[in-house]
Amino acid sequence: MANPTVKLLIVDDHPLFRQGVRWALSHEPGIQIVGEAGNGEEALQWLAQVDPNLEPNVMLVDLNLPGMSGLELTRQVRRQYASIAVVMLSMHESDEAAFNALRAGAAAYRSKDIKPAALADILRRVARGEYVINDVLTEAPRVASRILSQFRSLSEVQMVAEDLGLQIFTPLSEREIEVLERIAAGSSNKAIADELGISTQTVKNHISSILRKLSLNDRTQAVIFALRRGWIETPHNIQPGEPEA
């Protein structure tokens, strides 16, 4: 898939950090920094007044903003500007912060010590619609389990649905839900086939059907889409494995 131009709005209360991001990304092709804001209120005001030619498709948001938190800013942006993906940064990675960032609607979460090339890659990926959560799902199964179980409860689903303006329903079949739950647990196509007693080709067919029904491009997006709506949970008897493309 071709990379769209990343039009980036940086939201951080430290001018030196914003300047550092500008410098670090200055030689990265396809990334244009269209604006800066020092806090959440300023970012929302900037978005309301921006020239259409400079509208961002990605925001880089500090988790610990003064006043309105990065989480609250992310929730408001996802409600008002659905086309903007949010990449959240914090000083230190933690299970709790990762959970809260994804719950608020962030497309990616990383610590501020990320290398410029890795950050540029994430920005490009979220600009084309990906949710960069594979590390969370495969390297921190406790976070994945918590995310899935929390979103499974009705109160959480209703809250998230309200935040995102969604209805709670699923167009997926029972078997497709079973396949998607195992994808969320990190299982390969072969492992899913063995567990469900079907062929690998049938698993691939189910995945194709899921993506078609949800109008999504890849299995990671499908997992996030489903967990946000409470359609899936991590089965207790499934161990996270290496995802298969």
For 40-95, write each residue's pLDDT tens digit: 999 999 999 999 889 999 999 999 999 999 999 998 888 788 789 999 998 876 76
pLDDT at residue 149 in the model: 53
Q: Which domains does the chain have, with CATH numbers?
A: 6-132 (3.40.50.2300), 138-228 (1.10.10.10)
Going by pLDDT thresholds of 50, 70 and 90, the confidence category of residue 240 is: very low
pLDDT at residue 226 in the model: 78
Rounded CA separation 187/191 (Å): 6
Give SS3 for 19. Answer: helix
**Phi (first) and psi of residue 191, to 5 degrees:** -65, -40
Rounded CA separation 127/28 (Å): 14
Q: Which residues are CB-contacts of 81 (< 8 A; sequence separation ≥ 6)?
A: 47
Cβ atoms 243, 219 nearer than 8 A: yes
Residue 63 DSSP label: T
The total number of residues shown for the chain amounts to: 245
Pairing of strands 58-62, 6-11: parallel
For 84-111, write each residue's pLDDT tens digit: 999 999 887 676 777 778 777 788 888 8
Query: 199: which 2 tokens?
Result: 């062929």
Query: In DSSP terms, which residues pair with 10 in a beta bridge?
Result: 36, 60
Which of 24-33, 99-108, 167-176 comes out lowest in average pLDDT? 167-176
Sign of the torsion formed by the C-alpha atoms of 126, 129, 134 and 136? positive
Alpha carbon of residue 157 to chain centroid: 17
The pTM (predicted TM-score) of the whole model is: 0.60
Rounded mean pLDDT of 179-200? Answer: 89
Rounded CA separation 111/91 (Å): 6
Is the confidence at residue 220, as pLDDT, over 90?
Answer: no
